Amino acid sequence: MNLESERILAATPPFDATVLEIPQPGQVFAHLTSAVLVEHAVRRREGVLTENGAFSAYTGPRTGRSPKDKYIVRDSRTAASVDWSANQSMEPELFNRLLERFRQHFRGRDLYVFDGYAGADPRYRLRLRVVTEKAWHSLFARALFLRPAREELQGFTPDWTVWHAADFHADPVRDGTRSDACIVLNFEQRRVLVGGTHYAGEIKKAIFTVLNFLLPEQGVFPMHCAANVGGNGDVALFFGLSGTGKTTLSADGTRRLIGDDEHGWSDQGIFNFEGGCYAKTIHLSADGEPQIWNALRFGSVLENIPVDPYSRQPDFSDERITENTRAAYPLHYIPHYEPSGQGSHPRHIIFLTCDAFGVLPPLARLDPEQAIRYFLCGYTAKVAGTETGVHEPTPEFSTCFAQPFLPRPPQVYAQMLRQRLEQHRPAVWLLNTGWSGGPFGTGQRIPLTWTRKMLAAALQGDLDAVAYETEPHFGLAVPRECPGVPSWLFRPRDTWSDPAAYDKAAASLAARFVAEERRFRF
């Protein structure tokens, strides 16, 4: 290696490490580019480069979020405003002891610092610092959050700081935690501690939880949804739980992608919280999801996707490690994206559900009251094989499509949605990406091509003048026809070989909805 190459490899931007308040860390690397972070990650054997240039890492035993290990510090800021029936508390004294243990864990270790933003609208932007002990976790933060211009990094002072100590192990007896993992949010200190897990999604979702607490105070409705915009400025929002199609359906080559997961809705319109996407990649294909497939290149991060040791090709069909395989990539890797990360008030809201029972219609239009009910219920279904112990379709209700990330009572978010529905009157749709002709194992999943055609017809106004009929079990308004989609699909009962079995399954699911709705005092 020549001297010039060595000089380039050794160069790091200047950074005052004393602002971290960590005693005697190893070398602190701040504001590194993706190329340098990849070099560090590979040199430190944190993962490997794949054939397409993406960096691949494995997260060990925790291949997803650990919601039972998440806590909010109960203090004067949160005591009366957090919904403690749905959130675990930690006392300030325990947090401070845990914070000191993190400091000691970081002593002598090399650290990586990412400074950036959460919130594309400068009026509501959160200045964010992420400190990690792994280079690839800093690469993840760089892919997911908004990057400041170089001149903005001079004198950068964060509003919130995340310490991610992947190799730290909490002691339940000493630290008051459930296990050796912990995700703790302190709103008075404006700090997040993430320890005992290598799963990078904890960083992203911790900040989403912070925003879900802070933004309602500023009159902004925080949403777990994707968003895109058409050529005439028409914005569509896509609410949905994991596996329902948020990322897939919002990445539409005919519309500009604003974001795939987290947005705010202010008096001025909607804005993305992030600068990247975090896609579920199981069974990803170039034909089915070309925009996502092509985004997985240098600067992207693959999580828990098996890689062939010789060809270095990732195998997106391999579920041996987990069904929850993931990829993080910058938003600008999508060819049709909205650089501002902002849009007008939405004209369409789509609630996505993957109904593995095969009873919901593929598409229905909701009135405002139905919209609030479905928003609060946040329904989808787990299918056999996606989770340990799941052997048949299981209903999953996640309040506001975001239950693990809601510090405040659900009614706070539902009321913000209600106000916006009344003021802006968007069309609200229920789009089922699940099964038809029977439940999972008997019926067939609705083809993605048909789902895309139904979505396009709804967004283009092609369904405004067609006839609708009311579905009897759920009271949903279902179109009788849609261009490019067989009309029989819109009559779920007729797709079953045994109509009586359909009636029984539909009645059972409808009863589950009623039980869920009772929680919110309808």
Q: CA-to-CA distance for 508 and 514, rounded, in angstroms? A: 10
Which SS3 state, helix, strand or coil, does residue 356 take? coil
Cα separation, 374 vs 397, whole angstroms? 10
Calculate the alpha carbon distances from 231 to 155, 335, 346 in Å. Answer: 39, 15, 14
Residues 6+ apart with CB under 8 A from 425: none
> Which one-letter DSSP state was computed for residue 220?
-
Q: For tokens 């309040």, name the residue.
A: 399
**Residues marked as catalytic:** 65, 205, 224, 242, 246-247, 261, 326
Enter the DSSP assignment of 147.
P
| Spatial CA neighbour of 407 closest among 144, 212, 123 | 212
Q: Among candidates 106, 66, 118, 107, which has minimal Cα distance to 88?
A: 66
The angle subtended at Cα 475 by Cα 435 and Cα 472, nearest 5°, is 75
CB-CB contact of 98 with 171 (8 Å): no
What are 220's two structure tokens?
A: 């902004």
Contacts of 457 (CB under 8 A, 6+ apart): 463, 482, 483, 484, 485
